[in-house]
Structure 1
Amino acid sequence: MTHIAIYRLRNKHRQLEQELRGELARLRPDSERVLQLKRRKLSLKDQLARLEGQPRWGV
């Protein structure tokens, strides 16, 4: 189950990265949307770190 969860979180993280790049490529990016996407990506990264049993910032 953990491997499946990690796989899904990584895929979602990649999707959010694509959305973020698309938003930033716009002539006038929506700053609220950019902030929302960044927060969601960070949340997924934190979840991945917990599932993988690694500290978020490394040592």
Structure 2
Amino acid sequence: MLKWALFFAVIAVIAGLLGFTGIAAGAAAIAKLLFVVFLILCVVFLVLGFIVTKKMID
């Protein structure tokens, strides 16, 4: 998912440099959304990992 966020961020930068502001804004919005979803999932799985590890040790 992070790979897709970076892909859309690069598309947004290239489109912005070429003057395609509508495409750049859309790609930037998609990149932001994917990055936020990635961060949320990363935190959720990190917390779940700590919980499972703690229960396995106890």
Q: TM-score when scaled to structure 2? A: 0.63
Structure 1 residues 6-29: Cα deviation after superposition (integer angstroms, max 9, x where no partner): xxx111011112211211221xx1
In the alignment, what sits opposite 1:57?
A: none
Greater relative contact order (CA < 8 Å, ≥ 6 in sequence)? 1
Gaps of 5+ in 1: 1-8, 55-59
Pairing partner for 1:40 from 22, 30, 54 = 30
Q: TM-score when scaled to structure 1? A: 0.62
Structure with greater Cα Rg: 2
Distance 1:11 1:37 in 2: 14
- The Cα RMSD (Å) is 1.5
**Structure 1 runs of 4+ off > 3 angstroms?**
none
Aligned residues: 44
Report sequence identity in percent.
5
